[in-house]
Amino acid sequence: PRPVRAARGTTLSAKSWQTEGPLRMLMNNLDPEVAEHPDELVVYGGTGKAARSWEAYDAIVRTLETLESDETLLVQSGKPVGVFRTHEWAPRVLIANSNLVGDWANWPEFRRLEALGLTMYGQMTAGSWIYIGTQGILQGTYETFAAIGVKLATARGLSAADAANASLAGTLTLTGGCGGMGGAQPLAVTMNEGVVLIVDVDATRLARRVSKGYLDEMTDDIDDAIARVLAAKAEGRALSVGLVGNAATVFPELLARQVPIDIVTDQTSAHDPLSYLPEGVSVEEWRELAASDPEGFTERARASMAKQVKAMVEFQDAGAEVFDYGNSIRAEAKLGGYERAFEFPGFVPAYIRPLFAEGKGPFRWAALSGDPADIAATDRAILELFPEDEHLRRWITAAGEKVHFEGLPARICWLGYKERHLAGLKFNEMVASGELSAPLAIGRDHLDSGSVASPYRETEAMADGSDAIADWPLLNALLNTASGATWVSIHHGGGVGIGRSIHAGQVIVADGTPLAAEKIARVLVNDPGTGVMRHVDAGYPRAVEVARERGLRVPMLPDAD
């Protein structure tokens, strides 16, 4: 354990920016400003790690520092296992995290292997070195709550045009979990002008979000919390209040008190039952109990989740908008014995799928210079590139004002097929011209349209029933490897837990060279292209339209080429 912080500026520790990029991004993932538990190499999502151990971390750093531009490092669940001669179009790093053969893809076997030192949990962007702090999720959460605002307004009878500009003003949202990702929820709701009550067992997590400007206020008194949010709701004033408490207790309590809640969701780390605190266990006892009796702890956690989800379903019965926010809490509650758990939908089929059909999803980039001015310059470039996109303009402007950078300055926004490469090529030119002070690392989340198979989240309720087919993320990873990405990863279990997802990531370093431009022109077209392809194959008409309009070649599409 030691504090890690990526180098800033233009002095290289590695032999080129193509290897300096992954090096800085690995270090940035472990920056105490970014990571949730840096000493244990945990970046976010309960147990999502950037490297298997400190010895493995040191060996990765050492290897990246000497890696040549025609060599490739292989990383197996956070441990560097081989260096091979490839070529300059090949990725410099190839990563596979947490993957298990199907019949062994369960938590007990995973933990057995982890205890043997043979694997680690890579989550999504933790083990693939492109986590950028809470901002990463902020935009996605902002988009989701914006879509809910539109939906509620439409339900209230507003015209399509009016609904499109509707906000969450006057609504009250209830959610749980204010950690690495969940901590984006309060700011996302207030950016949409709504009121939110967020419940977390751990006061330090709430305090952290207050200090960073993601959460307005906190309290450990439920009456006080209710009074504050109801006042704001009545005034139509945006406000976020954190309440210290166990969601399994608080959710049913609020239901019983008939607090007028409009929207209910949750982002506790339910996907890993050891990271969900059961009722009757204190935060202090948590880790020891989970370690000493994982099976017993799991049972208790699932029973508490069942209680929480029961309240969520009953909020829905009472008319609230309720959704699973991608943490498998429905599946765990069902294992905990609550039969109605799947009666509310996941957020992807409810709000996000239409964007996925266009290859849209969270696109992001980080300034390897460490200089916030570089991100400001890219913000301006984005606004110039897509002047007609009002929604994007609103986000970029708000983000520029409200987002505190954590670690290397970074930006996220949602762009789709045949949009991302325009940004990438522009950024690469800005590096070449000196307009940016150093190269950028351009990547994306694994919450993505073409690179994920996750039947409780990204691929829940696909039109053709293909939710569980995992060929797609593997093809995405192979194609990104074949297109010139700087690093590529394949993960198992991220987001929703072991046995429940396969997903892939890519990052490309825009170093201002003509070769980088060539690579960007392929990777940032092909990567979202696989999203459109996947939704064409599943029969989404919008994806077919996009494929035709924007020239995606799908051999079995009628009238293809």
Ligand X SMILES: NC(=O)c1ccc[n+]([C@@H]2O[C@H](COP(=O)([O-])OP(=O)(O)OC[C@H]3O[C@@H](n4cnc5c(N)ncnc54)[C@H](O)[C@@H]3O)[C@@H](O)[C@H]2O)c1
Considering only residues 79, 205, 353, 418, which one is a binding residue for ligand X as defined by CB under 6 A?
205
**Backbone φ and ψ of 81, nearest 5°:** -120, -10
Q: Does 54 bind a second copy (CB under 8 A)?
A: no
CA distance 87 to 71: 7
Residue (64 or 201) nearer to ligand X, CB: 201
Is 553 near a second copy (CB under 8 A)?
yes
Tokens of 13: 């520790």
> Choosing from 413, 422, 425, 462, which is the catalytic residue?
413
Q: Give residues 442-481 in contact with ligand X (rule: CB under 6 A).
A: 447
Q: According to CB under 8 A, which one of 443, 530, 535, 543 is a site residue for a second copy?
A: 530
Binding mask 292-331 for ligand X (x = CB under 6 A): ------------x--------------------xxx----
44: contact with ligand X by CB under 6 A: yes
What is the chain's Cα-based Rg? Answer: 22
Q: Could you identify the residue written with the tokens 């939704």?
A: 535
- In the bound complex, which residue of the shown chain has the CB atom lying closest to ligand X? 179
Do the strands 172-176 and 263-264 form a parallel or antiparallel pair, or are they unpaired?
parallel
Question: Using CA atoms, how far apart are residues 359 and 351, in angstroms rounded to an integer?
Answer: 15
User: What is the distance between the alpha carbons of residues 53 and 6, in angstroms, rounded to a whole number?
Assistant: 18
For ligand X, the closer of residues 277 and 366 by Cβ is 277
Q: How far is the CB of 160 from a second copy (least distance, A)?
A: 33
Interface pick for a second copy out of 28, 29, 97, 246 (rule CB under 8 A): 97
Task: Specify the stretch interacting with a second copy by CB under 8 A; choose among 53-61, 170-178, 251-259, 283-291.
Answer: 53-61
State the Cα–Cα distance between residues 95 and 491, nearest whole angstrom.
8
Bridge partners, 96 (sequence order): 76, 490
The nearest distance, CB 415 to a second copy, in angstroms, is 18
Q: Which of 28, 98, 128, 246 binds ligand X (CB under 6 A)?
A: 246
Helix axes 54-66, 17-30, angle to 10 degrees: 160
Beta-strand pair 79-85/487-492: unpaired
Residue 514: burial class (beta carbons within 10 Å; 0-12, 13-18, 19+): exposed
The reply on whether position 265 binds ligand X by CB under 6 A is no
Near ligand X in 483-502, by CB under 6 A: 495
* Residue 413 appears among annotated catalytic residues: yes
Residue recorded with tokens 């004033």: 237
Q: In the set 21, 22, 38, 46, which binds ligand X (CB under 6 A)?
A: 46
Nearer to a second copy, 119 or 240 (CB): 119
Is position 201 an interface residue for ligand X (rule: CB under 6 A)?
yes
Give the residue, chosen from 213, 464, 541, 549, that forms a contact with a second copy under the rule CB under 8 A.
464
Contact range with ligand X by CB under 6 A, out of 58-66, 75-83, 174-182, 478-486? 174-182
Q: State the amino acid at position 207 in one-letter form.
A: A
Cα 472 to Cα 476: distance, rounded to the nearest angstrom: 6
| Tokens (6 digits) for 389 | 């996109």
User: Which residues 90-119 are close enough to bind ligand X by CB under 6 A?
Assistant: none
38 binds ligand X (CB under 6 A): no
Contact by Cβ (8 Å): 245, 199: yes
- Return d(Cα 133, Cα 119) in angstroms, integer: 24
Check binding of 73 to a second copy (CB under 8 A). yes
Minimum distance from CB of 482 to ligand X (Å)?
A: 27
Q: How far is the CB of 251 from ligand X (least distance, A)?
A: 9
Q: How many residues would you count in the chain? A: 561
| Nearest to ligand X of 60, 301 (CB atom) | 301
253 burial via Cβ count (<10 Å: 0-12, 13-18, 19+): middle
Query: Residue 324 and residue 262: Cα distance in Å, rounded?
Result: 15
Positions touching ligand X (CB under 6 A) are: 36, 44-46, 137, 140, 176-182, 199-202, 205, 246-248, 267-271, 275-277, 304, 325-327, 447, 495
Active site residues: 413
